[in-house]
Amino acid sequence: MDLEGKIVFISGAITGIDGYRKIFASAEQWLLEQDCTVLNPAVLPPSGMAWEAYLRITKAMVREADVVYVLQNWEHSRGVKEELALAESLGKEIIYEPREVVIV
Q: Is residue 1 part of a domain?
A: no
Q: How many CB atoms are closer than 10 A to CB 93?
A: 14
Whole-structure pTM value: 0.92
Q: Is residue 18 part of a domain?
A: yes
Task: Give the span between the Cα atoms of 43 and 40, in whole angstroms.
Answer: 6
Q: Is residue 30 part of a domain?
A: yes
Task: Give the span between the Cα atoms of 33 and 46, in whole angstroms.
Answer: 26
Q: Are 8 and 65 in contact (CB under 8 A)?
A: yes
> Can you count the helices (H) and strands (E) in the chain?
3, 4
Q: Is residue 103 part of a domain?
A: no
Q: What does the pLDDT look like over 69-82, one tens digit per residue?
A: 999 989 999 999 99
Q: Is residue 34 part of a domain?
A: yes
Q: Is residue 16 part of a domain?
A: yes
Please list the rounded mean pLDDT of every run of 10 residues in the chain (104 residues): 94 93 96 97 93 96 98 93 98 89 50
Q: Are 97 and 72 in contact (CB under 8 A)?
A: yes
Q: How many domains does the chain have?
A: 1
CATH number reported for the structural domain that contains residue 23 in this entry: 3.40.50.450
Which residue range is the domain that position 14 belongs to?
7-96
